[in-house]
A and B are shown apart, each in its own frame.
Chain A
Amino acid sequence: MGADITKQLDDILSRYNGEKSDLIPVLQETQESFGYLPEGVMQRIAKFLRLPESTVYGVSTFYAQFKLTPTGKRLVKVCRGTACHVRGAGYILSEIERRLGIKPGETTSDLSYSLETIACFGSCALAPVMVVDKNVYGRMTPTRVGQIMDEIK
């Protein structure tokens, strides 16, 4: 773990008292900074919270939000909620898979894009929905996928 990573992590940890219940918020904030949870970072968090490393690893792998490998510069999420499902989310997902050449949970080899499916964004009235980073796109069609992917290139 590089010195700058250690410093960045210590900055985050300095805002917490080291209570065991801080584990999830600490992991969330850490991931927000590094994009994922590197092994060394998780070990340091375990030490700080006086928790076994296995507990930190257990929690990190239990919750879908946490990632143990680096993610792409842009995160493309496709909603697979019920409303999206019945309104054709499958076609949206296949179109994105086809364009990026990756499956959900994967990252392109140049680290430009990661693709994920999400249980539900709660924008069901505008189904099907996709999200790129923090932008939500509703009423999607396979053709619009192409337009949006070109726009965000």
Chain B
Amino acid sequence: MTFDEIESRAIAEWEALEHSDKPRILIGTATCGRAAGAMAVLETINRELKRRKIKATVTQVGCIGPCYAEPLVNIIKSGRPHIYYANVTPELAAQFIEDYLVKDDPRPDLALGTVGEDGVAGIPKLFDLPMLRSQPRIVLRNCGLIDPENINHYIARDGYSGLVRALGMKPEAVIEEVKKSGLRGRGGAGFPTSTKWELCRKSPGTLKYVICNADEGDPGAFMNRSLLEGDPHSVLEGILIGAYAIGASEGYIYIRAEYPLAIERLELALRQATEYGLIGDNILGSSFSFHIKIKEGAGAFVCGEETALMASIEGRRGMPRARPPFPAQAGLWGKPTNINNTETWGNVSAILQKGADWYAGFGSEGNRGTKTFSLVGKIKHTGLIEVPLGIPLQEIIYEIGEGILKDKRFKAAQTGGPSGGCLPASLLNLPVDYESLTQAGSIMGSGGMVVMDEDTCMVDIARYFLSFTQAESCGKCVLCRLGTKQMLDILEDITHGRGKLEDIDRLQKLGEQVKAGSLCGLGQTAPNPVLTTIRYFRDEYEAHINEKRCPALTCTELISYYILPDKCQGCLICLRNCPAEAISGGKRMVHVIDQSKCIKCGTCLDLCPTRFGAVAKVSGEKVAVPSEPIPVTAARPDAKDSDESSNQ
């Protein structure tokens, strides 16, 4: 079958679906949707449709981005706009089927947004929502819209036309096209993709490899997972184009084992593309042959580093080695090898489909195109986002993310995972591009963006990241192996109230040495979270050291909980729920926490009714409380439900 035939068949299938009389229901069942309960919703939808004998097409799709609204269900009635419903429970799903499919009431009160030219009264357009309106969708062009398990859906939306175009060009011209697009590596370092390809192409040798790095190891990042779960073919097409440009005949996708659904969808995508003659010998009748294998990681963060990754593919311990030789000269099994990140490959397919000029229209000078981020942490609208490079940080936090949870104060945005740094509020105007982030002491990284508010302790964050890198250090370089351990010990001391003032200088000095004395990116960047938090949040370090106080009330060793005698109503809620049985008292007796038993879990604070507000969390101060329970003297606050037992 020629590609034209494949394409027209795919388009026919897609159009038949679009113009079908049957209603369609799309449900996001990527891993995050599942974590939010999407599979139970899917089950209810299928059961209700069957019970009511409604003929509808139910499709499981990837993630469209607004993860805070998961599970997301999109209902499309013939000739009508798509309607997205957010935070769908099985009960709500049954309700939509009754209300919209049966009674034709679109329930604007429950809808998130519509997609399509005509709107629906009372429902905003999905892509006009603040979260989505400033997001060009290049990498995520198909995520959430197509069935990721159906190659025809991808082809119907221009899929593999980029490969066809590339095959009609000289390999050098393909590299030139990527150069013109300005694409830089999306794994974090931002090395120009075309330069990397060129080096590998020019390397002598007949057997060359390309590798897709899908070992998304940064904690707090899930862009690659979402892309592979939502649109695996966009990555495969990119790899094929790159392999053709470089002259590689074999490829590997190295993916972490923690992503079972992404692996499953990739394997299926590989089989489908092979059946269509898009992978294999003489692809689409050309002289280009390419074979690709999936390798599962085995849980080692350092394998995200290219030389460690190649060692792991070869079946060895994933330990980085010195460069040169660079992978482009001597990589996998000593052959010239080109490694790019999953997102980079997703961009390549778009660039060849739509052209370098179109792509270069996004982003800023030197930073062309878009970048996906996983926007998470203390932010209202958590999700997977795609923004043009150069966008101010402010816009990401306050427009796309709609601000901080519970309207608290923004403290920092952490980018680049354990290799990155924390950007403080004073840098909210910072354009998000490779150079600006590096100057600020952080890095672009692969795209994790974790937002922190006033309740996040920056010393604890530094300790957290270092505990991660220290555990993940492969142990080859002394400074990385032992230096990070020393730094972690110092940070443990500080967060436990045992810190000394000279510790701050010692951390900085040691941090610089670890950076200088490590072979690979893990050690070279491991001190970044510590160094940036000292740079921007030194006062927090000093409070921990000098006053034995954690200003964010996070470090458990430095905080205490007290029950305020002038507010406690003696209602027994905290007493009964305390997991450590540290609270004494009785009905209408002021409760008292035994500080020696308290495990500082915060259950009492969470459960104390807000109108009483009788539990205080403090650091660096003592609250006067009775040593034994005494009768309640506090006036009862006005409340309709004065019977506290109803609260349990």
Q: Which residues of A contact B (CB under 8 A)?
A: 19-25, 27-28, 55, 58-59, 62-66, 80-87, 91, 94-95, 98, 118-127, 129, 134, 136-139, 142
Question: Using Cβ atoms and an 8 Å threshold, which residues of chain A touch B226?
Answer: 122
Is B266's beta carbon under 8 Å from chain A? no
B317 lies within 8 A of A59 (CB)? yes
Can you name the residue of chain B whose Cβ is closest to the Cβ of A124?
B376
Can you name the residue of chain B whose Cβ is closest to the Cβ of A31?
B298
Report the bound CA distance from A98 to B580 in whole Å.
10
Number of A-B contacts (CB under 8 A): 155
Interface of A is mostly: helix
Question: Using Cβ atoms and an 8 Å threshold, which residues of chain A touch B316?
Answer: 23, 55, 59
Q: What are 10 A-B residue pairs whose CB atoms fall within 8 Å in the complex?
A: A19-B315, A25-B295, A63-B298, A80-B468, A83-B382, A87-B377, A119-B258, A122-B31, A125-B384, A138-B35
Which residue among A28, A63, A66, A139 has the maximum number of chain B CB atoms within 10 Å of its CB? A63
Report the bound CA distance from A66 to B297 in whole Å.
11
Report the bound CA distance from A64 to B473 in whole Å.
12
B315 lies within 8 A of A20 (CB)? yes
B35 lies within 8 A of A137 (CB)? yes
Can you name the residue of chain A whose Cβ is closest to the Cβ of B67?
A125
Question: Using Cβ atoms and an 8 Å threshold, which residues of chain B touch A85?
Answer: 219, 461, 464
Known: A24-B312, A65-B299, A125-B67. A120 touches B36 (CB 8 A): no
Report the bound CA distance from A21 to B317 in whole Å.
11
Q: Which residues of B contact A (CB under 8 A)?
A: 31-32, 34-36, 67-68, 70, 216-222, 225-226, 257-260, 295-301, 312-318, 374-378, 382-384, 414, 417, 448, 450, 452, 456, 461, 464-465, 468, 472, 474, 579, 599, 601-603
Which residue among A98, A119, A121, A136 has the maximum number of chain B CB atoms within 10 Å of its CB? A119
Tell me how far the C-beta of A128 lies from the nearest C-beta in chain B, rounded to whole angstroms: 11
A120 lies within 8 A of B296 (CB)? no
Report the bound CA distance from A95 to B599 in whole Å.
11
A122 lies within 8 A of B221 (CB)? yes
Tell me how far the C-beta of A148 lies from the nearest C-beta in chain B, rounded to whole angstroms: 12
A122 lies within 8 A of B257 (CB)? no
B36 lies within 8 A of A126 (CB)? yes
Which residue among A62, A94, A121 has the maximum number of chain B CB atoms within 10 Å of its CB? A62
Which residue among B31, B35, B218, B375 has the maximum number of chain A CB atoms within 10 Å of its CB? B35
Report the bound CA distance from A111 to B443 in whole Å.
44
Question: Using Cβ atoms and an 8 Å threshold, which residues of chain B touch A23?
Answer: 315-316
Question: Using Cβ atoms and an 8 Å threshold, which residues of chain B touch A21?
Answer: 313-315
B317 lies within 8 A of A124 (CB)? no
Report the bound CA distance from A103 to B550 in whole Å.
26
Known: A85-B464, A124-B374. A63 touches B315 (CB 8 A): no
Report the bound CA distance from A125 to B456 in whole Å.
17
A136 lies within 8 A of B31 (CB)? yes
Which residue among A22, A28, A82 has the maximum number of chain B CB atoms within 10 Å of its CB? A82
Question: Using Cβ atoms and an 8 Å threshold, which residues of chain B touch A63?
Answer: 297-300, 317-318
List 5 additional A-B contacts (Cβ < 8 Å) besides A95-B579, A122-B225, A137-B35: A24-B312, A63-B298, A63-B317, A86-B450, A86-B452
Known: A80-B219, A139-B36. A121 touches B374 (CB 8 A): no
